[in-house]
Structure 1
Amino acid sequence: MNVSYLKELDGIRAIAALMVLFFHFFITATDGSAVVHFISKVAVFGQTGVSLFFVLSGFLITRILLSTRASANFFSAFYLRRLVRIFPLYYFYLVLFYFVVPFLTQTDFINWGEQFWYWFYLQGFPMTFHWAHAGPDHFWSLGVEEHFYLFWPLLIYFIQPRYLLSVIMLLIALAFCLRIIFVQQSFETFYFTFTRMDELAMGALVAVLEIRNKLKAAYFKRYVLLFVLSALLLLVLWVLTNKSGNAWLQVAKYNFISLLYFFLLCVVLTTATGSYLSIFLRTSLLTYLGRISYGLYVYHPMVFLLFKHYVPVQNVFFVASGSFVVTVIIASMSFYWFENRFLYFKQFFTYSSGKQPSTVKAAG
């Protein structure tokens, strides 16, 4: 079975990237004005764009794995296709960060002991347990996804599909319990794979709904209602707990955020083609930004740093908009002139034909 391509998800991917850029460009913004102060407060929601990425990735990867589970080259095709998509840009950026940026900013080179973690996707460990490290901090999320790609195909392959829902529930419960332990031990819950894995699991749960034909257009209004209710709940919790520093919030907030994006994805997958939502998500601008979203995410902190370093204008909005435009240009150049050279090899790593599990159906 061929998994159907859902163009609306490119729009969702673009929105997630734009949320993260908005967060990083404005979270520390200040010029003394009430407007900028308000924007910096709102920008905190942009950080949840990473959660949206996680939920979306969990869905997309799970539906691919389920649809190719019977392939003879299930593992080799999956891992090689992920490798040519992720590794080249990841390691190219590390080279830029560690060996080019110090020249441009006239700063010291980072010693190997502190950068070691990033070369092996282990940055979540020092960031969680307060060990010495130095590197592109936003790469923690790429480490989480890479770890998910390592073990999730194994579970999909060796566990019968009828048990998948139980496994997903177990992962969600495990992440919740680990956050309780981490908070009690004063460890970070934000960066560690197994304290954020429930968001990817929530995306996998969407794939289960797809298998069980629960993403039909008839369910659209129900998912819209649930999305609105979860958004209102999250907003109320944010207002009540803002600046409170409640430890329980560090445990439960990822559940509420992932639930919001779980229902958002369900809304998108059940919306009718030609609806206002579908048309919006399929706009050429959003689909284009979604196509280059990996580069947008990877390059934007460096662009922001260098823009502020070399451009003398201190206006908050000029710096943010200028950084955004430059990021889009660089991400576009990277995608077409660098990443595509490696994506070309995906055609050699196709899944072999074979009898596919009868439980898997494409959306639509």
Structure 2
Amino acid sequence: MSKVPEKLDYIPGLDGIRALAALLVISTHWPNNSISLKFGWVGVNIFFVLSGFLITRILVNEKQRAFKQYLGDFFYKRALRIFPVYYLFIFSTALIVLLIYYFVPALSKEGSLLAGVNAIRHDMPFYLTYTYNIKLNLAPLFHFGDYANDFFGHLWSLAVEEQFYLIFPFLVYFLNSRQLKKLVIAIMIICPLIRLWAAVIGIHLVSNRYWLGEFLYTNTFCQADALAAGALLALHPFNINFPYRTFFITAFICLATGLTCLYYLRHAGYFLVDGKSLGFDFPAFWLMETTPHFLINIRAFYQYSLVNLLAFVLIAPAVIKKPLFPAILQSAPISYLGKISYGVYLFHYPMKALFVIGGGFFGGWFTLTANPVIHIGLFILYLFVVIMLAHFSYQYFERKIMLKYKPGNAVN
């Protein structure tokens, strides 16, 4: 007979971290160098570590049930939380793009819009099946067209998470706690080696180094250590006897050492980066640099691990109810932004594209040499629109569906 799982505690500090991750991603996608944060892509890895923690926590709590009920409940809850707004986003965005393309002739030749139309024509099956990252990974091998676009291009990360959801429940159920912990630690060790091997082999097989860098960034196996880091956090027995001070001091020393080495390597000329990126420029560019220090330049080998450690150190205090910067990360506005961060992530990318298209139509507002004051004003307006879209989506669509159809034990 299945046991009833415990009701998991809500962890309020995680909402603030979600909000931080969402703001980082939004900022890195803004098309103006005076505002854009070049290192904002790390927000995606923060989301990955968060997902690994939350999903593992839920699965471990539910595994005392019969397998069929355990698996059915998990997939039902995930589908209910993720699918409705995801597919609403895809179809509504596609409809808007096609309406503009066919009924606003003045914009029908605009580059971002054309890229969006081509993506709808050719890549829609990948969006609908959460396999867009696989399409990106296999594009040169199978001669898929390159339909990178500003409307759906961010969906690769959701594909990575969904693929994780399909595999990990089976591992949690059939492995005991000790075996599972060994597995996630092994993943955290092996994944950097996979990235190193893929880069060394790939550099001799393909001429497109940007694609290779993108492969290392968007491939599920290459990002599995981020999800495993979160899983390890969920599996660790944080109790009264846990040496918190030693743990955080050790983690901080490792993080500080890594950042110091990164700073030194950059200034010693071992690799080239944009100064505004703090050494964390966009990963797809990492292999495009022509430096004599090739192995050191394969930053996907070690820099993703450093980012995952950063996310781990950020999330762990919140898990033990001692979040960093509580006055900020647990403030009401930031916490609410974290609650609606799924919608923020979905809507920010196409809304940016629409702002770019509209700015070009109304006098070239979005040229990179435009007045920075205009860009700041536009960014604030853009952020407001994205947040309001996510707010209405959460309150009047996502939340209503969850309340109506979701069984109890809802967490985060």
Report the TM-score, using the length of structure 1 for normalisation: 0.84
2: CA distance, partners of 1:322 / 1:224: 41
For residues 132 and 174 of structure 1, the distance between their equivalents in structure 2, rounded to whole angstroms, comes to 32
Q: Distance in 2 between matches of 1:308 and 1:279?
A: 35
SS of 2:301's equivalent? helix
Aligned partner of 2:127 among 118, 132, 140: 118
Q: Is the 8 A contact 2:195 2:222 kept in 1?
A: yes
Alpha-carbon separation, structure 2, partners of 1:153 and 1:215: 29
Matched, 1:198 2:225: yes
Corresponding residue number in structure 1 for 2:75: 79
Residues 95-110 of structure 1 aligned to structure 2 (within 5 Å)? 95-104=91-100, 106=108, 107-108=113-114, 109-110=117-118
**Once the two structures are aligned, what percentage of the paired residues are identical?**
29
- Alpha-carbon shift at residue 157 of structure 1 (Å): 0.3
**SS of residue in 2 equivalent to 1:45:** coil
Superimposed CA distance per residue, residues 97-134 of structure 1 (whole angstroms, 9 cap, x where no aligned partner): 33322323534533644332111111112212333253
Deviations 1:249-308 (A, max 9, x none): 122211111011112212333454xx8733432210111001100000000011111123
* 2:57 matches 1:63: yes
The DSSP-based 3-state class of the residue aligned with 1:250 is coil
The one-letter code matched in structure 1 to 2:161 is E
Rounded Cα–Cα distance in structure 1 between residues aligned with 2:339 and 2:73:
22
Tell me which of 239, 262, 278 is aligned to 1:213: 239
Decide which of 331, 338, 363 is 2:397's aligned counterpart.
338
Q: Which residue of 1 aligns with 2:20?
A: 15
Q: Which of 223, 233, 236 in structure 1 is aligned with 2:248?
A: 223
Q: Aligned to 1:299, what secondary structure does the other structure show?
A: helix
* Whole-angstrom CA distance in 1 between matches of 2:378 and 2:256: 31
Q: Distance in 1 between matches of 2:376 and 2:51?
A: 31
Tell me, yes or no, if structure 1 residue 146 matches structure 2 residue 149.
no
Structure 1 residues 183-220: Cα deviation after superposition (integer angstroms, max 9, x where no partner): 121432011111101100000111122x353895x614
CA 348–268 in structure 1, closer or farther in 2 if over 3 Å, else same: closer
What is the deviation of 1:4?
Answer: 1.2
Partners of 1:23 and 1:139 lie apart in 2 by: 16
Unmatched segments (≥5 aa) in structure 2: 1-5, 101-106, 204-211, 274-285, 367-373
For residues 302-360 of structure 1, the C-alpha deviation after alignment (integer angstroms, 9 at most, x for no partner) is: 11111232244452212221110110011111111221232124533769xxxxxxxxx
Change (3 A) 1:215 1:317: farther
The match for 1:325 among 377, 384, 392 is 384
Do structure 1's residue 264 and structure 2's residue 314 form an aligned pair?
yes
Provide Cα deviations, 1:29-53, integer angstroms capped at 9, x if missing partner: 14xxxxx2xx54xx12211000000
Aligned position for 1:46: 40
Q: 1:349 to 1:267 in 2, by over 3 A?
A: closer
Q: Match of 1:287, as an amino acid?
A: S
> Is contact 2:21-2:43 (8 Å) kept?
yes
The residue number in structure 2 matching 1:292 is 340
Which amino acid letter does the alignment assign opposite residue 100 of structure 1?
I
Residue 132 (1) aligns with residue 128 (2): no
Distance 1:181 1:89 in 2: 37
CA contact (8 A) 1:271 1:277 kept: no
The answer as to whether partners of 2:25 and 2:41 remain within 8 angstroms in 1 is yes
Q: 5+ residue gaps in structure 1? A: 31-35, 352-361
RMSD after superposition: 2.6
Structure 2 CA distance for partners of 1:203 and 1:300, relative to 1, 3 Å: same
Contact 1:215 1:270 in 2 (8 A): no
Scaled by the length of structure 2, what TM-score is found?
Answer: 0.75
Aligned amino acid, residue 260 of structure 1: L
Check the 8 A contact 1:21/1:300 in 2, yes or no: yes
Q: What amino acid sits opposite 2:325 in the alignment? A: L
Q: Residue 91 of structure 1: CA displacement?
A: 1.2
Q: Which shows bigger deviation, 194-203 or 157-166?
A: 157-166
- Aligned-partner Cα distance in 2 for 1:238–1:300: 31
- Per-residue deviation at 1:224? 5.3
Q: Identify if the C-alpha distance between structure 1 residues 350 and 2 changes in structure 2 by more than 3 Å, giving closer, same or farther.
A: closer
Distance in 1 (alpha carbons) for counterparts of 2:18 and 2:308? 15
